[in-house]
Amino acid sequence: MDFETLCIHGNNNKYDNTGAISVPIFQTATFAHPGVGESTGYDYTRQQNPTREHLENILTRMEEGVDAMAFSSGMAAISAVMELFSPGDHIIASDDLYGGSHRLFHHISIKNGISFDLVDTADLSLIEPLIRTNTRALFIETPTNPMMQVTDLAGVAEIARKHQLLLMVDNTFLTPYFQKPLKLGADIVIHSGTKYLGGHNDTIAGFVVTRDKTLADKLRFIFKTTGAGLAPFDSWLLIRGIKTLPIRMDRQQQNAGVIARWLCQQERIKAVHYVGLESHPGYQISKRQATGFGGMISFEVDSEKTAHHILEGVKLIQYAESLGGVESLITYPMLQTHGDIPEEQREAKGINNRLLRLSVGIESVNDLIDELDRVLKETVQ
């Protein structure tokens, strides 16, 4: 089954005989038992619910794994994965991470006895020198948020196998439509389903997908025990959103490519970070391991004043956190997504008071460029 069809018909399980085209929302907390010691297969929604199960089966097939778990948020998904580790364990992670992941690792996981080394995983030669006897895993974002660095997943998977490390990949920016980390050697894939998978900025969700049955069983136990499963109605929203994932991402990528090239020609734009630009350091790796570049652009303007003017002057493009929806959103990473990262670390990565992050939507690209052109010209006056 082709991916586009899979997004619509990826789980053909029917839960009734009404002929309903839309998956039913099983809005129930608990399920009755047919008899003592008997079960319908569903006992309590915290453990499993038919609507959520339908969604999880679709994600499993999309990522080509053995099991997927749908969480109440992307951070709930990462938090559950961190429960695989014990005090004294060490993890190597990309040094350009979503701010929420950085906050979790440095304020919660470290408190729980797990240590971290952050490194530019786009340079594979920097990873092995950090591996210790207590290193247990590698945590990779690619492309990274917000600097769009690209890690060679097949290369890092080889390092993980050599040292018997778990490889975890945050695949939020590209989704399985453009990139399939499990096929490239990852053990666990993580998503913020809030973003491209949901696609409409109307619900929060997260996913963990794995290719190993033993690992899946461990994660299922954590999932059931910690209790952050996605609610039935939110599961239905994700099922609906995924149906249009390919056509949304194709349009977002098309728009992003046009906008990124336009930005490169603007005098007040000093740097453009978009993986689909041939000048991007990760362009060739992306061509090899992914089928698309996505719809995320970060760019640096000439001054803090210009950055503030753009944020306060946009109307069609909205100044808001999050990404991946049909609406274009612009974000100020240093204050929003990465506000909790120490200033020195932010600045070292280029996350300064001149950097903006643009999540390109599916609007007319001409309207989006007209908007950006207007606010950039206004900054001159």
Residue 317: give its domain's CATH number.
Answer: 3.90.1150.10
Q: What is the radius of gyration, based on Cα positions, of the chain?
A: 21
Average pLDDT over residues 111-115: 98
Is there a single domain that holds both residue 66 and residue 121? yes
> Could you tell me whether strands 188-192 and 166-170 are parallel, antiparallel, or unpaired per DSSP bridges?
parallel
Is there a single domain that holds both residue 265 and residue 353? yes
How many domains are contained in the chain?
A: 2
Is there a single domain that holds both residue 286 and residue 192? no
pLDDT score at 314: 97
Is there a single domain that holds both residue 205 and residue 341? no
Which is catalytic among the residues 180, 195, 211, 357?
195
| Cα–Cα distance list, 153 to 74, 122, 325 (Å) | 21, 9, 26
Q: Where among 242, 267, 294 does a domain terminate?
A: 242
Token pair recorded at residue 258: 């046009």
Which is catalytic among the residues 61, 67, 98, 136?
98
Residue with tokens 């979790």: 104
Per-residue pLDDT of 35-50, as tens digits, reads 999 999 999 999 999 9
- CA 306, CA 300: separation in Å to the nearest integer? 10
Q: Of 20-29, 125-134, 334-343, which range is least confident? A: 334-343
Which is catalytic among the residues 89, 170, 187, 234?
170
Q: How are the residues of the chain apportioned to helix, strand and coil, as percentages rounded to the nearest 5?
A: 40, 15, 45
Is there a single domain that holds both residue 115 and residue 255? no
Is there a single domain that holds both residue 29 and residue 163? yes
Is there a single domain that holds both residue 211 and residue 250? no
- CA 346, CA 352: separation in Å to the nearest integer? 7
Tell me, yes or no, if 96 is annotated catalytic: no
Per-residue pLDDT of 60-91, as tens digits, reads 999 999 999 999 999 999 999 999 999 999 99
| Cα–Cα distance list, 237 to 25, 116, 194, 204, 368 (Å) | 10, 35, 10, 10, 27
Domain span at residue 267?
A: 245-380
Tell me, yes or no, if 370 is annotated catalytic: no
Which is catalytic among the residues 46, 218, 240, 270?
46
CA dihedral of residues 3, 121, 325, 2 (deg, nearest 10): 0
Per-residue pLDDT of 229-254, as tens digits, reads 999 999 999 999 999 999 999 999 99
Contact 212, 7 (CB under 8 A): no
Q: Where among 189, 212, 242 does a domain terminate?
A: 242
Residue 221: give its domain's CATH number.
Answer: 3.40.640.10
Is there a single domain that holds both residue 108 and residue 200? yes
Is there a single domain that holds both residue 83 and residue 150? yes
- CA 16, CA 240: separation in Å to the nearest integer? 19
Q: Where among 225, 242, 259 does a domain terminate?
A: 242
Tell me, yes or no, if 46 is annotated catalytic: yes
